[in-house]
């Protein structure tokens, strides 16, 4: 009699409903797709419904309404007292109040020197939760770490970048490292603070920058953006990730009351005969090629047209010669002899003022540093040397410092009330110019901040200076002037 084989059928495995955050994803298990929120999608690898981590607060609210527990949860309460002795100004208090009223989401726009860092400290205190602070550079990681340690105690502060990977209740990271931190430890933070959020502006094509990816996977429901130069008109993705602008004050509105008054003078200098000859020759070589090739008309956007031209220089000897001529023309203007002479003259005009010299390139900064015996801070300057120079500026033992972009944003040089612009790296960018002016505006009694622009007359730099000037038009009372 043949044997009869029977198959034992097991009942399907039943997974209890639960939610969790893991690897940058909001995850829902044990619930059919038909009964789940429609913004969740099935992931066959996890056999669960998932969404980007930024939707985790929404998933938590939905789960709470349906009595579905979190698979893992940890306390994000931060209860350390704020030790900062400063009394918040009216604008700082109002900024935090507006941000809280907006659901603890959105950006605060305040001029440099108006105390955006204290706004962040007050936001941490008011929310009472763990926070991740994201900044654009490693130098700012060090500055924020120090300020947070002074305000709440070093035992609560961590840093996550490069070889440093210490995660604590308040953790500072860079936009470059934020994705890795929030993917692994995002559930530990209820508040995100993004410094200098203009770095998150939409790309030239209107798309999101990759730096926003970290914010899209983070489960933190509360988000605060800080900047002095908000990217109006280029903030579609920024608004989605952080929220809209909830508070804004301009330089003009805060001058006298909370910022130092300021004066701006544009000083024109002439190229020497030999410099003028080189400038004209290189300009003619570059413009001749531009007319022949018509590369400026190859795209609707000047930025895209320039990228196409620069790319063509890899293949075309003529384009390569034109690009070389363009760079030499820029160098002639940047290194004009009269600029160094005028810089020394301005410094002699203000013998008692500490000064910041804003340079358009490393070559300029190195030359002015050599000629005037002024320390230089560039991207390659070691952190220890950078801190020593800035400390000497703060305690008054150092007269001046030359900078290439590093001091344009984020760093405080409160005693410096004299700025000299020898050139910029953006060909008249309004944002860079506003940030530079802001370095001088931290109020010190009744001192007036002075910013001198040194412009090579009869060159492309004239038009760049006109663009820069549009960035600092005040909306309140008129600024001081030196007769121009």
Give the pLDDT confidence score for residue 432 in this predicted structure: 59
Give the pLDDT confidence score for residue 76 in this predicted structure: 85
User: Has residue 220 got a pLDDT over 90?
Assistant: yes
Q: What is the pLDDT of residues 289-313, one digit of tens each?
A: 988 888 888 887 777 888 888 889 8
Please say whether the beta carbons of 99 and 110 come within 8 A. Answer: no
CA 17 to the chain's CA centroid: 41
The domains of the chain are located at 18-65, 90-249, 262-271+336-472, 273-333
Give the pLDDT confidence score for residue 382 in this predicted structure: 77
CB atoms within 10 A of CB 96: 25
SS3 call for 297: helix
Please tell me which residue, 36 or 382, carries the higher pLDDT value. Answer: 36
Which among 434, 435, 433 is positioned nearest to 411, based on CA atoms? Answer: 435
- Do the domains 90-249 and 262-271+336-472 sit in the same CATH topology, yes or no? yes
Please tell me which residue, 34 or 3, carries the higher pLDDT value. Answer: 34
Q: What is the pLDDT of residues 417-461, one digit of tens each?
A: 788 888 776 654 556 556 666 655 565 555 667 778 888 888 888
Give the pLDDT confidence score for residue 482 in this predicted structure: 35
User: Has residue 246 got a pLDDT over 50?
Assistant: yes
Confidence of residue 477 (pLDDT cuts 50, 70, 90): very low
Please name every residue paired with 421 in a beta bridge, in sequence order, or none if there are none. 358, 453
Mean pLDDT of the chain: 83
Which among 270, 419, 405, 402 is positioned nearest to 333, based on CA atoms? Answer: 270
Give the pLDDT confidence score for residue 429 in this predicted structure: 55
Give the pLDDT confidence score for residue 319 in this predicted structure: 92
Retrieve residue 73's tokens.
């949860």
Give the pLDDT confidence score for residue 423 in this predicted structure: 79
> In degrees, to the nearest 5, what angle opens at C-alpha 187 toward C-alphas 185 and 189?
90
Top-level CATH class of 262-271+336-472? alpha beta
3-state helix, strand, coil in the chain (%, to 5): 45, 20, 35
Give the pLDDT confidence score for residue 252 in this predicted structure: 61
User: How far is Cα 287 from Cα 281, in angstroms, rounded to an integer?
Assistant: 10
Please say whether the beta carbons of 175 and 188 come within 8 A. Answer: no
Retrieve residue 470's tokens.
């549009």
Retrieve residue 13's tokens.
């495995």
CATH 3.90.930.12, domain 90-249, yes or no: no
CA 390 to the chain's CA centroid: 20
Non-local (6+) Cβ contacts of 177 within 8 A are 160, 161, 162
User: How far is Cα 249 from Cα 260, in angstroms, rounded to an integer?
Assistant: 15
Retrieve residue 235's tokens.
């903030």
CB atoms within 10 A of CB 167: 17
CB atoms within 10 A of CB 146: 14
Give the pLDDT confidence score for residue 115 in this predicted structure: 80
Q: What is the pLDDT of residues 270-291, one digit of tens each?
A: 999 999 999 999 999 999 998 8
Please tell me which residue, 58 or 449, carries the higher pLDDT value. Answer: 58
SS3 call for 335: coil
User: How far is Cα 183 from Cα 25, in angstroms, rounded to an integer?
Assistant: 8
Residues recorded for the chain: 484
Top-level CATH class of 18-65? alpha beta
Q: What is the pLDDT of residues 60-86, one digit of tens each?
A: 999 999 998 887 666 789 989 998 888
SS3 call for 441: coil
User: Has residue 332 got a pLDDT over 70?
Assistant: yes
User: How far is Cα 82 from Cα 124, in angstroms, rounded to an integer?
Assistant: 9
User: Has residue 480 got a pLDDT over 50?
Assistant: no
DSSP annotation of 72 = S
Please say whether the beta carbons of 249 and 438 come within 8 A. Answer: no
Confidence of residue 483 (pLDDT cuts 50, 70, 90): very low
């Amino acid at each position: 009699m043949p044997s009869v084989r029977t198959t034992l059928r097991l009942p399907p495995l039943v997974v209890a409903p639960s939610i969790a955050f893991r690897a940058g994803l909001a995850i829902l298990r044990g619930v059919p797709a038909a009964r789940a929120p429609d913004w969740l999608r099935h992931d066959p690898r996890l056999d669960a419904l998932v969404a980007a981590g930024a939707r985790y607060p929404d998933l938590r609210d939905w789960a709470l309404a349906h009595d579905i527990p979190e698979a893992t949860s940890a306390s994000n309460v931060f209860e350390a007292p704020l030790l900062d002795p400063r009394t918040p100004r009216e604008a700082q208090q109002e900024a935090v109040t507006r941000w809280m009223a907006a659901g603890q989401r959105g950006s605060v726009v305040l001029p440099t020197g108006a105390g955006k860092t204290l706004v962040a400290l007050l936001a941490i205190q008011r929310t009472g939760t763990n926070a991740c602070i994201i900044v654009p550079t490693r130098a700012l990681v060090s500055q924020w770490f120090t300020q947070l340690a002074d305000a709440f105690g070093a035992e609560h502060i961590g840093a996550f970048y490069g070889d440093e990977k210490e995660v604590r209740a308040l953790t500072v990271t860079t936009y470059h490292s934020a994705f890795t931190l929030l993917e692994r430890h995002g559930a530990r933070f209820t508040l995100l603070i993004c410094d200098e959020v203009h770095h998150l502006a939409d790309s030239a094509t209107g798309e999101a920058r990759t730096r926003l990816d970290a914010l899209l996977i983070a489960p933190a429901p509360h988000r605060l953006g800080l900047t002095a130069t908000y990217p109006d008109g280029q903030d579609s993705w920024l608004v989605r990730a952080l929220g809209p602008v909830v508070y804004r004050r301009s330089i003009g509105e805060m001058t006298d009351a909370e910022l130092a008054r300021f004066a701006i003078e544009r000083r024109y200098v002439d190229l020497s005969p030999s410099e003028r000859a080189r400038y004209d020759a290189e300009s003619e070589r570059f413009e001749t090629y531009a007319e022949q090739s018509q590369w400026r008309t190859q795209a609707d956007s000047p930025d895209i047209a320039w990228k196409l031209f620069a790319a063509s220089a890899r293949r075309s000897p003529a384009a390569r010669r034109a690009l070389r001529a363009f760079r030499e023309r820029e160098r002639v203007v940047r290194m004009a002899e009269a600029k160094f002479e005028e810089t020394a003259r301005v410094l002699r005009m203000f013998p008692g003022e500490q000064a910041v010299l804003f340079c358009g390139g490393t070559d300029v900064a190195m030359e002015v540093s050599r000629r005037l015996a002024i320390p230089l801070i560039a991207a390659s300057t070691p952190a220890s040397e950078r801190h020593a120079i800035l400390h000497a500026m703060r305690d008054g033992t150092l007269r001046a410092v030359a900078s290439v972009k590093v001091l344009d944003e984020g760093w405080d040089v409160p005693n410096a009330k004299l700025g000299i612009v020898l050139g910029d790296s953006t060909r008249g960018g309004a944002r860079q110019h506003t940030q530079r002016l802001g370095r001088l505006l931290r109020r010190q009694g009744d001192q007036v901040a002075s910013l001198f622009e040194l412009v090579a007359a009869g060159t492309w730099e004239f038009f760049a200076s006109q663009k820069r000037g549009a960035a600092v038009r005040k909306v309140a009372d008129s600024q001081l002037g030196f007769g121009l």
